[in-house]
Structure 1
Amino acid sequence: MKRGFDVLRDKALNRSITFSRRDRDRLGLRGLLPHRVATDRQMVQRVMDNLQRLPRDIDRYMLLSSLQERNQRLFYQVIDAHVDTILPLIYTPTVGEACREFSHMARDPKGFFITPDDRGSIRRILANWPRKDIRVIVVTDGERILGLGDLGANGMGIPVGKLALYTACAGIDPEKCLPVTLDVGTNNDALRKDLLYLGYPRRRLTGNAYFTLVDEFVSAAQSRYPDALIQFEDFLTPNAYALLNRYRQRALCFNDDIQGTAAVALAGVYSSTRITNLRFTDLNIMFLGAGSAATGIADLMTAAFVDEGLTVDEARRHLSFVDVNGLVVKSRTDLLEHNLPYAHEMRPLGFVDAIEAIRPHVLIGATGAPGTFTQAVVGKMSSINQRPALFALSNPTSRAECTAEQAYAWSGGRALFASGSPFGPVAFGETMFHPAQGNNVYVFPGIGLGALACRARTLPDELFLTAARTLAGLVRRPHLDKGSLYPPLRDIRKISLAIAASVATQAYAMNLAREARPRNVRASVEAMMYRP
């Protein structure tokens, strides 16, 4: 058993000045701590007071990161008590700035780095990670970090942040989480020339060499951690789809940018129909952006339409895309494979003209290009819809297609607005709107918890459809009346539990589970949840 400073230096054991007198005697801590025994509530308040004293969100991120390294229990207590305030600091939008500055503000190492030099040794070096019972792995290659592009090894902030959310929002034991960066180089010239850059200082590995390295990692992870869920995060679109298609039938894995984003967006669209009184099957939905996030949403929406009785071809006719080159139509020769199912027999059109021609009820932005929902775009959507639904999903906040204030102002207060990063309340006329953040945190922690609870073999689209419907069902009329298409984030642990129970129940029904079904699925899931 650890004693003395070894206890205080172990982030999982350290409770700082909340250790009782009895524990101080038992663990050899007398004299190593000041006299006062503080309560958990006092410690949380100390952290919040210190956060308020700092001038910038990146400074607050650093304080919280340091706390996570020293006192894991207190870190999660702070999130639990102030989730609305803390989530934007430990993830979007602040994590984007943290990733940009990762090499310049490096502290104690977090996460596991794999480079091309580790080829042939990945299974062996995974043994260097101190925890053996890993249940969730979040892995990135840093090539498409949020809307910021190729950040190489600096992208480690993403898996670290995502796993903090797994713990805070769904009660996954932090000791069972492993953040991984496949540091295969970077094509960001500025990073490679930066003397302080910590990553593999060569151009990116590509082609067969890249895919065989990922193969080795996935095989090594499955061998060492056979019950672990692997979440792929922030891969460039072609690689994101290639890897998802490569492993989805033979590993417990998913891509959050494709499937998690899809479930959250679909839930928001379901919620919007309760305000517009339109049937889901009557909706026309247009996407600005045709990358992995937008196409993933469309793929899940196709499944949702089919589940409502449409054929696949009928479902896809309700979904259209506009990218940097205009409307996605069959006559174009520049389309990628994942775009082809959504290319329609129409003439080429620009964005605003495409809105006029197709008359969508819902506009979903996943571009990484700020300001692309212009006043003309919002005005056009408002001219053809009494309550236009606008989803500005790009992260971080600086990359949003429009702001909440713009959406309400340009639509005359009629827009149903959701965004990927948080916006505060907006007053328009006599109404105070509280737009909800359509953040993946609503679904991926619960999906992961449900998959682990039943020890699912794989995660097919049906489980993400279940998650979307469960999330939409948790939105109450008072939320909708305030302009929120999602339930309040302060209830995120309850939301994650509900989604986990639904996902596990569906997995049992589909014979995907390796665990025997308990009498009460929800109670069994809840019993798994870590509480700080």
Structure 2
Amino acid sequence: MTEEVRLQLSRGITVTGRRTGVVLVSSWLRGVHHVVGDVVSPGMVSGLQQLEDSRLNKGLNFTFEERQKLGLLGLLAPSFRTQEEQMAHCRQSLQSSKHIVEKLIFLLELQVQCRPTGILAFLLFRYVVALGGRDTGSRVGDARRWRERNERLFYRLLSEDMDIFLIYLSTRTVASACREFGTIFHRSRGIFISAYDKGHCFDVLKNWPEPNVRTVLVTDGEKVMSMGDQGAHGMCIPLYQVCRQICLAGIRPHNCLPVTLDVGCNNQSVLDDPYYIGLRQERVSGADYEELVDEFIEAIVCKYGQDTLIQFESMNVQNSIRLLSKYRDRYCVINADIQDIASMVLAGILASRKATGKMLGENTFCFFGAGRSALGTASLLVQAMVAEGVSEEEAKTKIWMMDSEGLVTKSRLEQYKSLYAKDHSSVDSLEDLVHEIKPSVLIGCSNVGGAFTPSILRAMASFHQRPLVFALSTPSECAECDADKALRHTNQPCFNAIRKQKTFPDLQGCCLFGSGAPDVTKNLDEGDAQRSTGFTLMSHAYVSPGVTLGVLCTRMHHVADDIFIIAAQTIADMVTEEDLKQGRIYPPLENSRQVSLAIATDISQYAYDKEYFLTFKKCENKIKALFVKFFDQIKVITFFKNPFF
């Protein structure tokens, strides 16, 4: 017996159907699930909406069955293409583009609606216009309105083509995005929590549409690279980090949540910007700031779970150190500015041992700059030296630091610098300090462009056959030196040979160089970004994606410093003899995804040995399968099985 029934839905929608026994049959009840990330039930969106949503669109990769279920018949050409065929077509389009402007236009066509990094597309739009003129801008605008958008192809292209990756995710691009964020801002790509949301953080988080957040990248925008306080415009930093982790570690976009804590801004030029989108007030500090951060962290854990990875970035040195110390043993928290960069520097030093023949404890380290990166690196170096058998006190004597006032001494102590203060007379000049202590490793994190002068570099080369020079400051105009200058002044004959022959006959005697900005590593002949030279691109892009992948897959609740030492050793182990002969102390960026997977695998083994591994009781033969699945999820669209078909 069939009975006509009417269902009054909660949103005021009435559905008519027929009841047979206890089964309700209705054409409306085709889809019963919400859209979750890139997983969608048939019937929840129309065919046209499916094509317009870059996270769901696959273009000609939709199968005939999918086209039937999703209402795509007639909206796509009958031809079918595999994703590999689509990738080949995209690569051909990029290769046929002779000008960088055309390459960027093509990427914009794919990425304009991607989440959560779409704001960078608007920056690239302005960059393309600057390169190609107004006609180019018009072409890009037309492309943005009608060309195919495909999130998966965009991220695959970005992760597999390092030339495009360097342009799109360069520190210069991100710095420009921060400066112009108010102008290019059109829609939110993350969560903004203001000082006035105190007491309502959980309610704000409930407005984020993705329920399965696994990692949260949060900043308060107070120390954005070398630009200082950018307030709410610091949102570009977590957006940039999210895109990097998606490309290099295969993290699914909907698992990432960028957050900005807008507590004001102390940069008057930013506050005077008519397009500034944040609170126009001085920064909230002290107890009010602390209570807001406490509430935010608790809200994240309450909503998404204890194993949610929270990554702090671009905060001032005091807040960075204090918040990391406060939360690291209570929640799953890391600080990218402190720990990621420290791990990369340690990796470079460990890899260089084959060339220098020195153990960690046999080096003398000179830091120019005593901020977050310097203190984090020094702390990790001390722990690594202790692991090699050096006492903690002796390890600290190997580290010398200079800040804006000169050598850090016991006569002028700041609490967070006191561990490395020396009982020494004041030294105001970096060159004087270099001549006095004769460091084998020179690390710059001062944001003072050109601070490593020719005389300093020549002095380093006179003290050691293979000195290490790290210029960590970003963007490139703030770097202490570049590869060209470092090589020129540590071995002039070698430099001349490379310029003439464009080969690397013998780098013995040249420094080993690492930079923090892609723009710093230059082609010695043409001045273009070049990864194939013997001078490595030092970026903590190696560490953060691998650590994030490892932590998320193991679901550990706390991240110890051991994790970053493991990451450093893994990276160092992947540097070959051939890399060292060419002066590289890091793996090529082309291998970045393999590096991320290797780091995550080693972290998982460590977590299993320490009984931190919460995903599986046994991880034999499961780690690899888990990671392969994790990587592939950004490439393949998945549908819930629909019981009504």
TM range (shorter): over 0.9
The question of whether the paired residues in 2 share the 8 Å contact of 1:388 and 1:416 is answered with: yes
Aligned counterpart in structure 1 of residue 335 of structure 2, from 251, 255, 264: 255
Offset from partner CA, 1:116-166 (integer Å, 9 cap, x none):
121111111211111111111111111111222111111111111111121
Aligned counterpart in structure 2 of residue 7 of structure 1, from 50, 59, 81: 50
The question of whether the paired residues in 1 share the 8 Å contact of 2:107 and 2:154 is answered with: no
Distance 2:67 2:104 in 1: 35
Structure 1 unaligned segments of length 5 or more: list them. none
Distance 1:56 1:247 in 2: 46
Shift of 1:341: 0.5
Distance 2:160 2:302 in 1: 38
Letter of the 1:171 counterpart: G
Change (3 A) 1:109 1:35: farther
1:526 aligns with 2:627: yes
Residue matched to 1:473: 573
The question of whether the paired residues in 1 share the 8 Å contact of 2:53 and 2:113 is answered with: no
The question of whether the paired residues in 2 share the 8 Å contact of 1:84 and 1:489 is answered with: no
Letter of the 1:452 counterpart: L
Letter of the 2:50 counterpart: V
The question of whether the paired residues in 1 share the 8 Å contact of 2:111 and 2:150 is answered with: no
Letter of the 1:16 counterpart: G
Letter of the 1:306 counterpart: V
Could you tell me the TM-score, scaled by structure 1's length? 0.93
Distance 2:319 2:612 in 1: 26
Distance 2:405 2:96 in 1: 48
The question of whether the paired residues in 1 share the 8 Å contact of 2:249 and 2:549 is answered with: yes
Change (3 A) 1:298 1:94: same
Residue matched to 1:205: 284
1:357 aligns with 2:436: yes
Distance 1:328 1:51 in 2: 52
Aligned counterpart in structure 1 of residue 514 of structure 2, from 413, 418, 440: 418
The question of whether the paired residues in 1 share the 8 Å contact of 2:217 and 2:259 is answered with: yes
Shift of 1:524: 4.2
Residue 437 of structure 1: SS of its match in structure 2? coil
Change (3 A) 1:62 1:26: closer
Letter of the 1:210 counterpart: Y
Shift of 1:264: 0.5
Could you tell me the TM-score, scaled by structure 2's length? 0.78
Residue matched to 2:407: 327
The question of whether the paired residues in 2 share the 8 Å contact of 1:84 and 1:490 is answered with: no
The question of whether the paired residues in 2 share the 8 Å contact of 1:426 and 1:434 is answered with: no
Q: How many residues align?
A: 527
The question of whether the paired residues in 1 share the 8 Å contact of 2:514 and 2:536 is answered with: yes
The question of whether the paired residues in 1 share the 8 Å contact of 2:466 and 2:512 is answered with: yes
Residue 265 of structure 1: SS of its match in structure 2? helix
**Paired-residue identity, %:** 35
Letter of the 2:424 counterpart: M
When structure 1 is superposed on structure 2, of 254-263 and 405-414 the one drifting more is 405-414
Distance 1:294 1:266 in 2: 12
The question of whether the paired residues in 1 share the 8 Å contact of 2:369 and 2:445 is answered with: yes
Offset from partner CA, 1:453-511 (integer Å, 9 cap, x none):
21112111111111111110110011111111100111111101110111121122223
Letter of the 1:192 counterpart: L
The question of whether the paired residues in 1 share the 8 Å contact of 2:170 and 2:517 is answered with: no
1:452 aligns with 2:581: no
The question of whether the paired residues in 1 share the 8 Å contact of 2:219 and 2:315 is answered with: yes
Letter of the 2:468 counterpart: A
1:225-240 to structure 2, matched below 5 A, reads 225-226=304-305, 227-240=307-320
1:134-145 to structure 2, matched below 5 A, reads 134-145=213-224
Letter of the 2:223 counterpart: R
Offset from partner CA, 1:347-402 (integer Å, 9 cap, x none):
11121111111111000111122111111211221121112210001111221110
Residue matched to 2:369: 289
Aligned counterpart in structure 1 of residue 187 of structure 2, from 108, 113, 124: 108
Q: CA RMSD in A?
A: 2.3
1:98-177 to structure 2, matched below 5 A, reads 98-177=177-256
Offset from partner CA, 1:170-192 (integer Å, 9 cap, x none):
12111111111111111121221
1:280 aligns with 2:360: yes
The question of whether the paired residues in 2 share the 8 Å contact of 1:447 and 1:499 is answered with: yes
Residue 529 of structure 1: SS of its match in structure 2? helix
Residue matched to 1:380: 459
Letter of the 1:530 counterpart: F
Distance 1:351 1:168 in 2: 39
Distance 1:245 1:338 in 2: 11
Residue matched to 1:338: 416
Residue 418 of structure 1: SS of its match in structure 2? strand
Shift of 1:64: 6.9
Distance 2:109 2:414 in 1: 43
Distance 2:175 2:370 in 1: 22
1:304-323 to structure 2, matched below 5 A, reads 304-323=384-403
Letter of the 2:631 counterpart: Y
